[in-house]
């Protein structure tokens, strides 16, 4: 059985609480409101914590909550990425590259600096 050392789940017959940890950020969710309050109080006794209330952003993902459920979006992340590469005003197309193009390492010009390309690939 595999496990993820950054996700912790407490199940009971009537409820579930999920705690997700990423570096110094923690997201606590579930359907046991009282249990979540108790967990936050317990953690804040041992760790300096700041409760940011409802989740709005996490790891570059915007989270919107409504009575119908959660909506996740990476709009802000994509806008910042487009700004960085100078393509904010670009228009979208169905196919970003001609599928019949054959790439060859011996054709084209070398980039003066590979730093920006590496950053974009990392993202």
**32-63 pLDDT, tens digit each:** 999 999 999 999 999 998 888 888 888 878 88
Residue 104 lies in a domain: no
The predicted structure's pLDDT at residue 111: 63
Number of folded domains that form the chain: 2
Residue 47 lies in a domain: yes
User: 28-54 burial by CB neighbour count: b if 16+ within 10 A, else e?
Assistant: bebebeebbeebeeeeeeeeeeeeeee
- Residues 6, 38 within the same domain: yes
Which residue range is the domain that position 24 belongs to?
1-53
- Residues 38, 3 within the same domain: yes
């Amino acid at each position: 059985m595999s496990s993820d050392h950054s996700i912790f789940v407490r199940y009971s017959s009537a409820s579930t609480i999920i705690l997700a940890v990423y570096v110094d950020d923690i997201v606590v969710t579930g359907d046991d409101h009282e249990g979540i309050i108790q967990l936050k109080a317990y953690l804040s006794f041992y760790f300096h914590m700041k409760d940011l209330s409802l989740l709005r952003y996490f790891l570059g993902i915007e989270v919107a909550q409504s009575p119908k459920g959660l909506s996740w979006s990476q709009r802000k992340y994509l806008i910042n990425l487009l700004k960085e590469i100078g393509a904010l005003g670009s228009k979208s197309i169905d196919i970003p590259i001609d599928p019949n193009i054959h790439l060859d390492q011996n054709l084209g010009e070398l980039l003066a600096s590979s730093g920006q390309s590496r950053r974009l690939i990392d993202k």
